[in-house]
Amino acid sequence: MPTPAETAAVKAGRTSAVVALSSFTATAPASGRMVAFWHTPEGRRIELGQFTARPHQGPQRVRLSLAAVASLLEEGQPLCVEVVFVDEAARGGGNAVVALEWGRGAR
């Protein structure tokens, strides 16, 4: 759950979310295209962005802008982010270990 300071920083545009992939296994055929969604407390699903994970590249970090949802964030509410493969067929064969961090180090 974001701290009050982190929520305020997102709303002010001073920070973003970072998806940190610590490992990634490609699917067959190889498709590392992924999409991140934010789930609102009311159950809505809002796309935050898409990116491509690259196999055999070691840890990867991808910055996600929260500008589109910043006004919807509420202090003290959890930030539920789902990261899935874009290609439905890839979801059964690929694997990615991800963590969500705040605005550090992604390019």
Mean pLDDT of 74-80: 81
- Catalogue the E-assigned strands of the chain: 17-25, 33-39, 45-52, 60-64, 80-85, 95-102
Q: Which region, left, alpha or beta, applies to residue 103 given φ > 0 means left and ψ of -120 to 50 means alpha?
A: left
Domains in the chain, ordered, with CATH?
Answer: 4-102 (2.60.310)
* 77, two tokens: 């509410």
If pLDDT is split at 50, 70 and 90, which confidence band does 107 have? very low
Looking at the predicted structure, is the pLDDT value of residue 106 above 60? no
- For residue range 4-14, list pLDDT tens digits in order: 888 888 888 88
Across the chain, mean pLDDT equals 80
Distance CA 40, CA 38 (A): 6
- For residue range 36-51, list pLDDT tens digits in order: 999 988 889 999 999 9
* 105, two tokens: 């180090």
Model pLDDT, residue 47 = 93
Mean pLDDT of 43-62: 86
